[in-house]
Structures are given as C-alpha cells and as structure tokens.
C-alpha cells in the first residue's frame, strides 16, 4: 500500500496537535506527529473548558478519562479587586449541562495533554516522533515533502505525506508556508501564574468556584484543578516584560506582583500572599484572522495558536484548537475532495469563529481592566444584568 496515502504530518504535539491526531485517526487517517520537545510534557497550569469544548472531547470518547482528572466548578464569580464586592455570577455546574448539554471543566494542562496522548496511542494509528525539528517544507502537486532532523543530531531527513498540519503554537515556523512571515504581537500584558495545593491554604481561602477579580489595569482568575486538590492562579497586569519572554516557565519577581496588587482587597491579597512560587509569562497574540486564506494553503493547514493565538480572556485558546481539530477531521473525511479542497473547507468553517473569539478576548481584557467612570458603568451593568451578561451562548452552544 502507498505509505503516503492518507498520511497527515502534524507539526507540534501540544493540545492542538494531539487533538488533531486523535480526531483524524478516528476518521481513518494515518497521522505522524513531529514534536520538537524531547519528552511529551505540558508545562503551564490550569485551563478552563467550556461546554463547547467538553462536548467535542466527549465525542472522541474522552469523557471517562477526563472526569478522573478535572474539577467541575459550581459558579463563576466576578468580584471587584479593590472593594471585594461581588459584581455578578454565572452558574456553571448543572446549568452548563442543562443549557448546553455538556459540563464546564477546569483541568491542569498536563492532565488534559496526558488524556489526549493516551487516547492517541490507543488508536494504534498515530506515529509519534519526539525531539524532531522541521527544516524545510515543499508543497508539491501530489504530496508534501518535509526535510527534518532529530535534535541534537539528525535521524530523519525526508518525510512525505499527503497533507500537513501546522500545530506548532504561537512561535510557529510552519505558519510562513501559509501566510507571509510576521512576528506575534507583544500585548504588554504580563501573566503571573501559580499552582498551590488546596490543603496548604487556610480553610477560609479554599474555593469550589472560578473567581475573576477585576481591577484597574489588572485582573486575577482563580479556580481549582486536579479534582480540586490544587488552586490555579493567574494574575494579569499591564506592563512590559523585563526581557522578551517567548517560553513558559520564567521565574517571576514576587515583589513586582506585590507592588501591582498594592490596592487589592484583603481576600485577594491573602490568597496571593500564600503563594511562594510565581511564574511569569508575557502575553502575545495576533490580530484576529481575516479570512480562510490565513488558515490553509494547498496541502498545509494551520491549527490552534499557530493560526490564531489569542489573549486568554475568554479562556478559549486551547478550546478553539480542539474545535479546529474536530473540523479538520470532518473535512479530512470528505474523501471525494482533493486535499487542498478539504483544507479549504476546514479553513472556511473555522476562520470567522476563531476571529470572533480573538476579538472578544481583546475586548474582555479591556473591560476587565477598566478605570474611572467606565468602570462604574461596567459594574452597574454586571449588577443589573448578571448572568445574562456573563453567559456566552454563541460560544458555548458550539460552532
Ligand atoms: C495565561 C494563560 C491562560 C490560558 N488559559 C486558557 C484557558 O483557560 N482555556 C483555554 O482553552 N486556553 C487557555 N489558554 C490558551 C492555551 O494555553 C493555548 O491556546 C493552547 O495551549 C494552544 O495549543 P496549541 O497546541 O495550538 O499550541 P502549543 O500548546 O503552544 O503547542 C505547540 C507544540 O508545538 C511544538 N513545536 C513548536 N515548534 C515546533 C517545531 N518547529 N517542530 C516541532 N514541534 C514544534 C511545541 O513544543 C509544542 O509542544 C491560556 C493561555 C495563557 C497564556
């Protein structure tokens, strides 16, 4: 049998790349995932997954494995970071299932990644190559040819496939084969992230909910992960990084964070001060996608952060990568079409929704950080409209 037939080369084995491998393998494809890292390990911290995302993951058979590692929060509260008052709340738990037919989960990235990896391996159809770097990609009339090498020394030189997926994240090197090369946009927003054992916190600071604290030029998001055994904390402040931070896992200077939080309410300060070890991440994004041509060209499709990196203020970056993967697999199944036609179908189905979430993420960030009279207006609207303002039916109902 022709080894190229039905083969898809997926560059990047993050959440998006593994989701694509799993979904495409379930449609009969033979994916080959090429990952730069030496071992599959997802750094970082928590991820929230709305019902639009959990529904997709369940459709791939992941429900049981996910339920063993996730946390299901009851509510999302928005509190004023200065006064501590509650501005609004959105019921998540049962309401998410009743309204959208799927739950709202909070999960550690490594746990989600591990569940995906396990299911990818179980298909028996996916080849995984770690410690590999793609150097050159050629999109010919009938196949993709990739020159690559193992790291640090070469062990594969040329791989051929029927199609390719660039799932190599924010700093994607495959992106240049679809759209002209431009660097990601530095947002001048810094994310301080931490994960603390719930047991290490005083009883009064433990929580079963997602809490978003909004303040002038900053906000904080807190929620349990790992069956509620850990609390995930993210504090976003306006500011430039001391150096350009392109990767996860930079130690943060806690004093900088303390300075930024000077005015914060004692409830918030008490939780933050219980954390010794903060990591710092400089947020980057790209302007919202402008058309299907920015997500696929010929035999190459882009997916996840490689295509549409977004600010995390809708908590949907990984979610959109997972939705992309589902659509990609559905398009792949259209075997009556050529590969470029299938990828165009995928791109046409996905670009506008991704652009909308990117745009809304930018807008949410601005709303969270409002100051002065605009802030009073926001607080009043939240108090009056509450749940109806915070719910996002067009998003949670799915594509
Ligand atoms: C503070 C913060 C909070 C967030 N919260 C949420 C949330 O609550 N919910 C949510 O859905 N999303 C959230 N996100 C966004 C989410 O983390 C990302 O959108 C998601 O991880 C993107 O997945 P990806 O697979 O596209 O890219 P990545 O996770 O970046 O994976 C890319 C992979 O490609 C590999 N790679 C890179 N270059 C190459 C190469 N040349 N060759 C081979 N391999 C390569 C990398 O090693 C990596 O494994 C958050 C992000 C941040 C910063």
pLDDT at 42: 59
Asked whether 220 lines ligand 1 (CB < 6 A), one says no
CA atoms of 397 and 399, how far apart (whole Å): 7
**Strand, helix or coil at 286?**
coil
Of 362, 365, 91, nearest in space to 214 by CA: 365
Query: From ligand 1's centre to the CA of 56, what distance in Å?
Result: 18
Question: 17 is in which domain, residue-wise?
Answer: 7-39+130-183+286-364
Domain assignment of residue 60, yes or no: no
Closest-CA residue, ligand 1 atom 9, reads: 315
Whether residue 207 sits in one domain with residue 278: yes
Domain presence at residue 297: yes
Distance 321 CA to ligand 1 centre (A): 9
User: DSSP strand E in the chain: where?
Assistant: 7-11, 30-34, 46-49, 75-80, 86-91, 105-108, 127-129, 132-139, 144-150, 158-161, 163-166, 185-197, 210-215, 218-225, 230-238, 250-251, 279-285, 296-297, 300-302
Q: Clarify whether residues 236 and 261 are in a common domain.
A: yes
Which tokens hold the place of 383? 């108090």
| Nearest-angstrom CA–CA distance, 294 and 90 | 35
Atom of ligand 1 nearest to the CA of 133: 42
Give yes or no for residue 169 CB within 6 A of ligand 1. Answer: yes
Domain membership flag for residue 52: no
Phi/psi of residue 34, nearest 5 degrees: -110, 115
Whether 305 lines ligand 1, by a CB cut-off of 6 Å, is: yes
Burial (CB count <10 Å: 0-12, 13-18, 19+), residue 83: exposed
21: closest CA among 3, 13, 344?
13
CATH number of the domain enclosing 292: 3.50.50.60
Task: Give a yes or no: residue 117 inside a domain.
Answer: no
266 shares its domain with 292: no
Asked whether residue 157 falls in the same domain as residue 295, the answer is: yes
The rounded Å distance from CA 16 to ligand 1 centre is 7
**Do 195 and 276 reside in the same domain of the chain?**
yes
Task: Answer yes or no: is the C-beta of 128 below 6 A from any ligand 1 atom.
Answer: no
Task: Assign residue 239 the CATH number of its domain.
Answer: 3.30.9.30
Question: Under DSSP, is residue 238 helix (H, G, I), strand (E, B) or coil?
Answer: strand
- The two most distant CA atoms of the chain are separated, in Å, by 68
Q: Using CA atoms, how far apart are residues 194 and 196, in angstroms rounded to an integer?
A: 7
Residue 356 backbone phi and psi in degrees, to 5? -65, -40
330 shares a domain with 341: yes
Same domain, 265 and 373: yes
Residue 199 belongs to some domain of the structure: yes
What pTM was computed for the model?
Answer: 0.96
pLDDT in tens, the chain (399 residues): 677 889 999 999 999 999 999 999 999 999 999 999 988 765 668 999 999 999 999 999 999 999 999 999 999 999 999 999 999 999 999 999 999 999 999 999 999 999 999 999 999 999 999 988 887 788 887 889 988 777 655 566 788 899 999 999 999 999 999 999 899 998 989 999 999 999 988 888 889 999 999 998 899 999 999 999 999 999 999 887 665 555 545 666 778 888 888 889 999 999 998 888 888 888 999 999 999 999 999 999 999 999 999 999 999 999 999 999 999 999 999 999 999 999 999 999 999 999 999 999 999 999 989 888 888 888 898 888 889 899 999 999 999
Q: Which DSSP symbol is given to 71?
A: B
Quote the CA–CA distance of 159 and 145 in Å, as a whole number: 6
Regarding whether 195 and 295 lie in a shared domain, the answer is no
Ligand 1: distance of its center to the CA of 318 in Å? 7
Is residue 18 one of the residues assigned to a domain?
A: yes
Claim to verify: residue 214 and residue 175 sit in the same structural domain: no
Q: Give me the number of domains the chain comprises.
A: 2
One domain, residues 161 and 134: yes
- Residue 214 pairs in a beta bridge with 80, 219
Regarding beta strands 75-80 and 144-150, do their DSSP bridges make them parallel or antiparallel, or are they unpaired? unpaired
Where do we find the tokens 């911290």? 45
Answer whether residue 121 is part of any domain: no
pLDDT the model gives residue 246: 52
Tokens representing 211 are 């809490």
Decide whether any atom of ligand 1 lies within 6 Å of the 115 Cβ.
Answer: no
365 CB near ligand 1 (under 6 Å): no
Domain identity same for 278 and 325: no
Residues 200 and 266 in one domain: yes
Query: Is residue 179, in this structure, part of any structural domain at all?
Result: yes
Check: CB of residue 332 under 8 Å from CB of residue 65.
no
- Answer yes or no: is the C-beta of 11 below 6 A from any ligand 1 atom: yes
The interaxial angle of helices 15-25 and 109-123, nearest 10 deg, is 30
Cα distance between residue 20 and residue 4, in whole Å: 18
Task: Give CA–CA dist 53/102, Å, rounded.
Answer: 9
């Amino acid at each position: 049998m022709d080894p190229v037939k039905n083969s898809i080369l997926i560059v990047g084995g993050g959440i998006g790349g593994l989701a694509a491998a799993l979904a495409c393998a379930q449609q009969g494809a033979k994916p080959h995932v090429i990952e730069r890292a030496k071992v599959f390990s997802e750094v970082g911290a928590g991820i929230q997954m709305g019902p639009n995302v959990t529904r997709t993951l369940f459709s791939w058979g992941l429900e049981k494995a996910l339920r063993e590692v996730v946390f299901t929060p009851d509510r999302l509260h928005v509190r004023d970071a200065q006064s501590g008052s509650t501005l609004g709340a959105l019921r998540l738990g049962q309401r998410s299932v009743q309204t959208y037919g799927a739950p709202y989960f909070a999960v550690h990235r490594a746990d989600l990644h591990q569940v995906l990896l396990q299911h990818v391996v179980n298909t028996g159809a996916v080849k995984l190559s770690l410690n590999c770097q793609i150097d050159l990609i050629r999109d010919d009339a009938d196949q993709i040819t990739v020159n690559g090498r193992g790291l640090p020394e070469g062990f594969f030189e040329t791989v051929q496939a029927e199609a390719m997926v660039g799932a190599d994240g924010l700093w994607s090197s495959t992106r240049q084969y679809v759209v002209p090369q431009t660097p990601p946009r530095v947002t001048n927003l810094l994310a301080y992230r931490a994960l603390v054992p719930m047991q290490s916190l005083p009883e009064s600071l433990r929580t079963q909910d997602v809490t978003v604290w909004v303040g002038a030029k900053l906000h904080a998001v807190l929620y349990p992960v790992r069956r509620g055994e850990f609390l995930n904390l993210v504090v976003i402040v306006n500011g430039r990084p001391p150096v350009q931070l392109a990767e996860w896992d930079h130690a943060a200077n806690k004093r900088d964070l303390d300075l930024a939080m000077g005015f914060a309410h004692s409830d918030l300060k008490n939780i933050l001060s219980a954390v010794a070890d903060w990591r710092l991440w400089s947020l980057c994004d790209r302007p919202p996608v402008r058309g299907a041509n920015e997500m696929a060209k010929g035999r190459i499709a882009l997916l996840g952060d490689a295509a549409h990196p977004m600010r995390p203020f809708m908590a949907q970056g990984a979610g959109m990568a997972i939705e992309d993967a589902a659509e990609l697999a559905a398009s792949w199944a259209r075997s009556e079409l050529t590969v470029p036609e299938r990828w165009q179908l995928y791109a046409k189905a996905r670009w506008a929704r991704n652009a909308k979430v990117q745009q809304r993420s930018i807008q949410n960030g601005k709303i969270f950080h409002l100051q002065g009279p605009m802030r009073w207006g926001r607080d009043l609207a939240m108090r009056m409209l509450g749940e109806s303002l915070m719910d996002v039916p067009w998003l949670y109902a799915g594509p």
